[in-house]
Structure 1
Amino acid sequence: QKTKELLNNDGKLFTLFGGEHSVSIGSIRAVGEKFENLTVLQLDAHTDLRPEFHGSTSNHACAVFEANQKHNLVQVGIRSMDVEETQYLPEGRVFFAHEIANNENWVNDVLEKVSGNVYITIDLDAFDPSLCPSTGTPEPGGLQWYPTLELLRKVFEKCNVVAFDIVELMDSPMAKPSAFLAAKLYYKMLAYYHIYNNN
């Protein structure tokens, strides 16, 4: 409901800093009700495609299940999933981290799948834990900083980004580098929006 209220403020970009990834469920739902032809671009180590987890459909493991049913979901950086989630994978729109590592053209391959209005949801565990260790479920072998910025810049240039979120930053004794990465990422995305704003 709060997202709906904020989306009524025309001319403003909706952004969200979250704790766990479940906060994205309601925001994506609200954005999808306002904007047609929505692509949800998910940068994440995990697919988050379970219909329910521990009896809840509002769990971080279910973060994009609904988005996958209703919108064009594109997943980037995936390297961990449960076998039950394989049946829900968006065909041809999942870019696994081990494939990205061996594909110099992966950014353009992703861009071919992203179009129209775009909601970007970034779980910070998408990044390699050497860059961002302070997240709830870090996984080795993640995305690198500069190629990820290249992807995001090109998405803002090509499409109409209508909202984005950054989630799963966790407080820890090693939190400072991760917090700076999250803040810098936010600033970069705002800059791309103002440079390439298609409105």
Structure 2
Amino acid sequence: MLAKHFLDLPLKLRAYQTAKFVVVPVPYEATTTYGQGTRRGPAAILTASLQVENFDEELKAEPYVFGIHTQGNCQIKGLASRVKRHLAAGKTPIILGGEHSITPFVVKAAAQQDQALSVLQLDAHADLRDKYQGKKNNHACVMRRVLEICPAVQVGVRSLSKEEWGFAKKSGQDKKMHWAQDKLDIKKIKNQLSKNVYITIDVDVFDPSLIPAVGTPEPGGLSWYQVLNLLREICQTKNVVGFDVVELSPRLNELVSPFAVAKLVYKVISYLT
């Protein structure tokens, strides 16, 4: 049975009026080029979230008491306007993808609210192509589109094309790329970000042994606690206006991936409370 809400919460903690967080499922899949199924990601995350403990073992707290409202599925055309409404209402939007090409729509909406915005990208891929397979809004072009809106810092990258590297060197973006094989310099990453931050997490940033069900897998990657340590520091020292988690491609009878992603979403919520 598919869940309609993030976590198993009582009705009063799911009410929009009082909730700090608003979960927006976006089952969008149009430009995937390898593993199919990202459209099923949001439903799998919501269903797995029912198995996540509401008590955060790290913080020794119950972050759900701040309220988490889950909306119905959102189409890509209505995503930006919905995000604007949530931000204007003082909510923190949490976007569940779906493929990564949804991110620029959210960033554009957030940047219109906060001019001094920057983006923290956690991803195995640079996503800096200008076009891919004839499309400028392909999932392989996400960060190229984001950089047309605001600055970005890229973490966990371990795959890119010659074209992308050329663009990064020419634009200076290479100085804001933190490679997966290098020691994670959290202080440097933090200093490269502005006060207001939007976080986009492509779950292929992780080592595939942790989350194997992704749209575009890549060997190597960050560990669970590397990612959590970075997210905790950013969430506790910056004004994180929202975040998305994308590119989960659920597989039949494989429960590790959706559960890990659901737990990841709740960890970010925890760090923001």
Instruction: Return the TM-score normalized by structure 1.
Output: 0.90
Structure 1 outlier segments of 4+, above 3 Å? none
Q: Kindly state the Cα deviation for residue 174 of structure 1 after the two structures are TM-superposed.
A: 5.9
The aligned residue for residue 197 of structure 1 is: none
Match of 1:37 in 2: 116
Q: Which string of whole-angstrom CA distances, capped at 9 and with x for unpartnered residues, describes residues 41-82 of structure 1?
A: 000000001111111111100111121233111000000011
Partner residue, 2:24: none
Q: Which residue of 1 aligns with 2:83?
A: 6
User: Are residues 1:157 and 2:258 paired?
Assistant: no
Q: 1: distance between equivalents of 2:179 and 2:101?
A: 22
Q: What CA distance in whole angstroms lies between the structure 1 residues aligned with 2:167 and 2:241?
A: 25
In the alignment, structure 1 residue 95 sits paired with structure 2 residue 171: no
Q: Which residue of 1 aligns with 2:46?
A: none
Per-residue CA deviations over 1:5-45 (Å, capped at 9, x if unaligned) read 33233220011000111111211121122211111100000
State the 1:4 CA deviation: 2.6
- The 1-side partners of 2:180 and 2:113 are apart by 32
Check the 8 A contact 2:107/2:149 in 1, yes or no.
no
- Partner residue in 1 for 2:191: 112
Q: Describe how 1:115-126 pairs up with structure 2 within 5 A.
A: 115-126=194-205
- Could you tell me how far apart the structure 2 residues matched to 1:47 and 1:2 are? 24
Any idea what SS the aligned residue of 1:175 has? coil
Q: Which among 131, 148, 161 is matched to residue 227 of structure 2? A: 148
DSSP 3-state at the match of 2:174: coil
Q: Which has the larger radius of gyration?
A: 2
1:138 corresponds to which residue? 217
- TM-score, structure 2 as length reference: 0.67
Find the aligned partners of 2:83 and 2:119 in 1 and give their Cα distance.
Answer: 19
* 8 Å contact kept, 2:118–2:197: yes
Pairwise CA distance, 1:179: 0.4
Q: Deviations over 1:169-188 (max 9, x none)?
A: 00214631110111001001
Residue 180 of structure 2 aligns with an amino acid whose one-letter code is A
Quote the offset at 1:115 in angstroms: 2.3
% of aligned pairs identical?
Answer: 41
For residues 13 and 154 of structure 1, what CA distance do their matches in structure 2 show? 18
CA contact (8 A) 1:16 1:164 kept: yes
User: Which moved further from structure 2: 140-149 or 1-10?
Assistant: 1-10
- The verdict on how the C-alpha distance between 1:81 and 1:121 changes in structure 2, with shifts beyond 3 A counting, is same
Q: How many positions carry a matched residue from both structures?
A: 190
The alpha carbon displacement at 1:190 in A equals 0.8
The code of the aligned residue for 1:16 comes to: I
Give the distance between the partners of 1:2 and 1:22, measured in 2 at CA. Answer: 12
CA distance in structure 2 between the partners assigned to 1:158 and 1:88 by the alignment: 30
RMSD: 1.4
